[in-house]
Structure 1
Amino acid sequence: MKKLFNNYINTFKGLSREVWWLSLITLINRAGTMVIPFLSLYLNKSLGFSMPEVGIVMSFWGVGSLIGTWLGGKLTDVIGYYKVMFVSLFLTGVLFFSLQYITSFYGFCFGILLVMLAADTFRPAMFVALSAYSKPENKTRSVTLIRLAINLGFSAGPAIGGLIITGIGYQSLFWVDGITCVLAAILLVQVLHPKKAKTLDEVKVEKPISVYKDKLFWVFFVAMFIFGFTFMQYFSTMPLYYKDARFLSEFEIGLLMGFNGFFIFVFEMPLINWLENKKKSKIKLVLIGLLLLSFSFIAINTTSWVGILVVGMLLMTIGEMVAFPFSNAFAIERGKKGNQGQYMAMYAISFSLANIFCHNVGMLLIDEYGYAFTWSLMAIFAMLGVIVLFILLLMLKKEKSASNEVLQRLVNKKTVTS
C-alpha cells in the first residue's frame, strides 16, 4: 500500500511551482462559480422565468462563453496571458456582484452574456500560461493537474452552493462567486506576477501561422466538437435517462455522477503518466478516448441490467481521462508554430459550440424518438469523430514526411555547398 501511495505521489513530481499556483487559482475560480449549476433554478423559482425563457438565458450563457473564449485568445496574443487572466478574474467578480440586482428577462440575458464573456477570456490565457510555465516534457501532466483542480472545483462548488442557498438564500451565491473571483485575481498578482514567476517554455514566433490557415487543426477542431457534443450528453440528458427510464433516485444519480469525479481524481494522473511513458501519438490516444465514449453509449443500450450504467459511466470516464489531456497537449504543441492564444481559443471554442447545441438537440431527440434511439445516434456520431481523427493521423503522417523531405534537401544542399 505504501509503495502504491509513493508511486501515486511521484506522478506529480517535476511540475513547476507556477503550475501548482495556477492550479490553485483555477480551483478557487471554478469552485467560486457555484451559481452556474443553480442558475436555472434561480431563474425559474426566484425570478419567475418560464422554462422557454430559462432556455434562452442559457443560450446567451453559451454565446457569451464562445465570444469570451475567442476574445481571450486574441487579447492573449496582443497583451499577454498574465494581464488577460487578471482582468478576467477581477471583472468577473465585479459582474457577479452586479448580476444579483438584475431581475428582468432581457436584462438578465445581457447580464449573463457579459459575465460569461468576461469569465471565459480566462481559459485560452490560462492554457498559454500553462504552456509557458511547463517544461515541454511535463505539458500533458500539467494539463492533467489543471483538470484535477477544475474537477475538484466543480465538485466542491455545487455542494457549498447548496448549503449557502439552504442557509442564506440565492442572493448570497452572487456575493460568494464575486468574492472568490476577486480573491483568485489577488492571488494571481501575489504568486504569478511576471517579476516573480519563472517562465520555462515561452514561445515567440516571428512569422506565426494563423490558426485559420492551419487545415490540420480544423480537422482536429471538428473532432473535438463531436467529442464535446457527445460527452456533454452525460451531464444534461443522461441524468433524465437515469431518472425516467432506469428509475434511479436523485441520491443514486448523485452517486453515479460523483463516481466520475472521484475516479478522475484518483486515477487520471497515474494513467496519464503511464501513457506518456509509452510514447504514443497524442491523436491516437484521443481517438481511443472517443472510441471508449462511443462504446459507453452502446453498452447502456445492450441490457436492462442496472449495473450496465456503472459500466457505461466507467467507459465514458476513462475515455474522458485519455482524450482531454492529450487533445489539450496537442493544441498547445500545434500552437507553438503560430499564435498560441488563437490556437487555445479555437480549442476551447470547439467545446463552447458543442455546449450551445448539444443540450437542445439531445432533448429534442429524446422527446421525438426516445432514449434508446438517441444513445445509438450518439454512439454513431462519436464513431464519426473517430473516423475524423483517423484522417487527421494520416494527414499528420503526410505532413511529417513532407517536413523530413524539406529538411533532407536543406542538409544535402549544405553538404554540396561545403
Structure 2
Amino acid sequence: MVSKKIKPVLRKINPWSSLARMPRSMWAVSFATFINRAGSMFLTFLAIYLTKYQGYSIDYAGYVLSAYGIGSLAAGPVVGKLADRFGNLPIMKLSLLLSAFVLFLFPFFHEFWMIIVLTLVLSWVSEAFRPANLALISDIVKPEDRKIAFALNRLAINLGFSIGPLLGGFLIMFDYHWMFIFDGLTSLSALGFLMITTLSKEEKERRAERELNKEVESSEKVNPFRDPRLIYYVIALSPVYIVFFSQISTISLYVVNELKFPEPVIGALFLVNTAMIIFLEVPLNNAMVDWEDRKLLSLGGVLTGIGFGLFAFSHNIPMLVICIVILTFGEMIFSPASANYLAEIAPVHSKGMYMGFLQIVFNISLFIGPAAGAFMMEGLGSKWMWISCFFLSIIGVLLMWRMRTGHEKLATANE
C-alpha cells in the first residue's frame, strides 16, 4: 500500500526511474540506434557541402534537400509493409547496410543529377530504419511499457545527434569526404551490433503473441479523413513544423556563409539543442502534465517563432545560443503535445491511422521547410527570412488556439 503511494512521488523526483523496467533487448536496440545516430552528420552539413565544397548555389542546395524530403516521405508506408512481411529486424539491418553503401559512394559523384539520385536513395534507405525500429520496439516491449521504451529510444537518438554534428564539424575541417566515410562506418557499426544480438527470436515470439490476441476490427471505426479535428490538426500544426524543419538548411547557411563562423560552431549549436532535450524534456513535460494540449501547442509554437525570429538580430555566438535555447524550449513543449493530442482524439480502433498523420506532417514539412528556407534566404535575404519564420509560426499558433480539446467527442463518430 505504501509503495503505491510512494511510486508516483518517486516518478516526480526522478523521471528516469521507470527506465529500469526495460528489457535487455530494448537497451540493445537503443544502443544500436545511438551508434547509428552518432554518425548522423550528412543532413546537417549537406547544404554547406554543396555550396562551399561543390560550388553549387543555395537554390541548388535547396533542391537536393527537397529530394531528401521526397525520399523520406515515400519510405514510411512502403517500409511498414515490408517490415510486416519480412520482419522489423531484417529491415533495420538492410537499411544500415544500404545507407553505408550509398554514403561511401557519395564523394565519387559531383554531377548535380547524380547527387539528386544518391540523396533520394539515401533518404529512402536511411529513413527505412525509423518505422522498422519503432515497430520492433512495439514487438519486444510489453504494451504498458511502450511509452517508456519510445522515450528511451528518443533519448538514444538525441544522444547520438549530440555527437554527430559536433564530430562532423571537425571532420570537414580536414576533408568533407571524411563526413561520408565516418557516417557510413557508424552505420556498419550499428549493423554489426545488431548482428550479434538475439532480437529476432524475441521479435517472432512477441509477433506470435500479438497475432493470437489480435482483436476483431470494429465496425465503428471512424474514417480519419471525415474527422474535422484531425484535418484541422494537420493544417494548424504544419506552419510550425515547416519553420522548425527549415533549420536544416537555414541555420548552417546563415552561420557559415553569412556570419563567417567556422563549421564547428554549427555542431556546437546543435549540441546545445540536443543537450537541452536530453536533460530537460522529460522533467519539463512532467511539470506541465496537467496543461491542455491546445495550450502546450500554442506556447510551443510561440517560442519556436520567437527563437527563429531572433536570428534576424543575432550576429554573435551568445545571441545565436539564446535563439537555440528559446526554439528548443518550443520544440520540447510542442513535440510531445502534438502526439498526445492525436492519442486523445483518436478512436480506439484507429489510433495507428491517426498517428500516421503526424508522420505525414513531419515528412511534408521536411520536404517544404529546408527548400523554402533556402529559397527565401536567397530571394529575400536572411533577415526577412527569419522574420517570415516568426510570422508563419504565429499563424500556426492562432490556428492551434482554436483547436478542439482532445476530450471533445466527434459527433459523427457516434451517429
Q: TM-score range by the shorter chain?
A: 0.7 to 0.9
1:221-232 matches, cutoff 5 A: 221-232=234-245
Return the match for 2:130 from 123, 136, 141: 123
Q: Is the 8 A contact 1:76 1:84 kept in 2?
A: yes
C-alpha RMSD over aligned residues: 4.2
Cα distance in 2 for partners of 1:215, 1:99 equals 44
**Do residues 351 (structure 1) and 362 (structure 2) align?**
yes
Cα distance in 1 for partners of 2:180, 2:308 equals 37
Match of 2:199 in 1: 192
Q: Could you say if the C-alpha distance between residues 402 and 299 of structure 1 is closer, same or farther in structure 2, counting changes exceeding 3 Å?
A: same
Match of 2:279 in 1: 266
Q: Could you say if the C-alpha distance between residues 325 and 139 of structure 1 is closer, same or farther in structure 2, counting changes exceeding 3 Å?
A: farther
Cα distance in 1 for partners of 2:299, 2:328 equals 12
Q: Could you say if the C-alpha distance between residues 170 and 360 of structure 1 is closer, same or farther in structure 2, counting changes exceeding 3 Å?
A: closer
Q: Could you say if the C-alpha distance between residues 310 and 165 of structure 1 is closer, same or farther in structure 2, counting changes exceeding 3 Å?
A: closer
Q: Could you say if the C-alpha distance between residues 30 and 309 of structure 1 is closer, same or farther in structure 2, counting changes exceeding 3 Å?
A: closer
Match of 1:412 in 2: none
1:164-243 matches, cutoff 5 A: 164-165=171-172, 169-189=175-195, 190-195=197-202, 199=206, 204=214, 206-207=216-217, 215-238=228-251
Cα distance in 1 for partners of 2:293, 2:167 equals 36
Letter in 2 for 1:181: S
Letter in 2 for 1:88: S
Q: Is the 8 A contact 2:165 2:270 kept in 1?
A: no
Cα distance in 2 for partners of 1:389, 1:157 equals 34
Letter in 2 for 1:399: K
Match of 2:333 in 1: 322
1:66-81 matches, cutoff 5 A: 66-76=73-83, 81=88
Match of 1:288 in 2: 299
1:337-376 matches, cutoff 5 A: 337-338=349-350, 340=352, 345-371=356-382, 373-376=384-387
Q: Is the 8 A contact 1:230 1:381 kept in 2?
A: yes
Greater mean alpha carbon deviation, residues 351-360 or residues 365-374: 365-374
Which 5+ residue runs of structure 2 have no aligned equivalent?
1-9
Cα distance in 1 for partners of 2:384, 2:106 equals 40
Please report how far the alpha carbon of residue 320 of structure 1 lies from its aligned counterpart in structure 2 after TM superposition. 0.9
Q: Is the 8 A contact 2:62 2:374 kept in 1?
A: no
Letter in 1 for 2:396: G
Letter in 2 for 1:35: F
Please report how far the alpha carbon of residue 44 of structure 1 lies from its aligned counterpart in structure 2 after TM superposition. 5.0
The 3-state SS of whatever aligns with 1:226 is helix
Cα distance in 2 for partners of 1:348, 1:131 equals 17
Letter in 2 for 1:107: M
Q: Is the 8 A contact 2:165 2:267 kept in 1?
A: no
Q: Could you say if the C-alpha distance between residues 81 and 255 of structure 1 is closer, same or farther in structure 2, counting changes exceeding 3 Å?
A: closer
- Provide Cα deviations, 1:347-394, integer angstroms capped at 9, x if missing partner: 233222212222333344445555554444323322332344344434
Q: Could you say if the C-alpha distance between residues 251 and 170 of structure 1 is closer, same or farther in structure 2, counting changes exceeding 3 Å?
A: closer
**Do residues 398 (structure 1) and 408 (structure 2) align?**
yes
Q: Could you say if the C-alpha distance between residues 174 and 246 of structure 1 is closer, same or farther in structure 2, counting changes exceeding 3 Å?
A: closer
Q: Is the 8 A contact 1:145 1:269 kept in 2?
A: no
Q: Could you say if the C-alpha distance between residues 50 and 390 of structure 1 is closer, same or farther in structure 2, counting changes exceeding 3 Å?
A: closer
Q: Could you say if the C-alpha distance between residues 363 and 59 of structure 1 is closer, same or farther in structure 2, counting changes exceeding 3 Å?
A: closer
Matched residue count: 398
**Do residues 153 (structure 1) and 160 (structure 2) align?**
yes
Q: Could you say if the C-alpha distance between residues 284 and 137 of structure 1 is closer, same or farther in structure 2, counting changes exceeding 3 Å?
A: farther
Letter in 2 for 1:147: R
Cα distance in 2 for partners of 1:298, 1:35 equals 26
- Provide Cα deviations, 1:160-183, integer angstroms capped at 9, x if missing partner: 33454556x444544433333233
Q: Return the TM-score normalized by structure 2.
A: 0.76
Q: Is the 8 A contact 1:209 1:339 kept in 2?
A: no
Q: Is the 8 A contact 2:104 2:180 kept in 1?
A: yes
Cα distance in 2 for partners of 1:291, 1:69 equals 30
> Percent identity of the aligned residues?
27
Which 5+ residue runs of structure 1 have no aligned equivalent?
407-418
Q: Is the 8 A contact 2:169 2:263 kept in 1?
A: no
Greater mean alpha carbon deviation, residues 181-190 or residues 6-15: 6-15
Cα distance in 1 for partners of 2:365, 2:19 equals 31
Q: Could you say if the C-alpha distance between residues 384 and 35 of structure 1 is closer, same or farther in structure 2, counting changes exceeding 3 Å?
A: closer
The 3-state SS of whatever aligns with 1:72 is helix
The 3-state SS of whatever aligns with 1:33 is coil
Cα distance in 1 for partners of 2:410, 2:90 equals 36
Cα distance in 1 for partners of 2:244, 2:391 equals 13
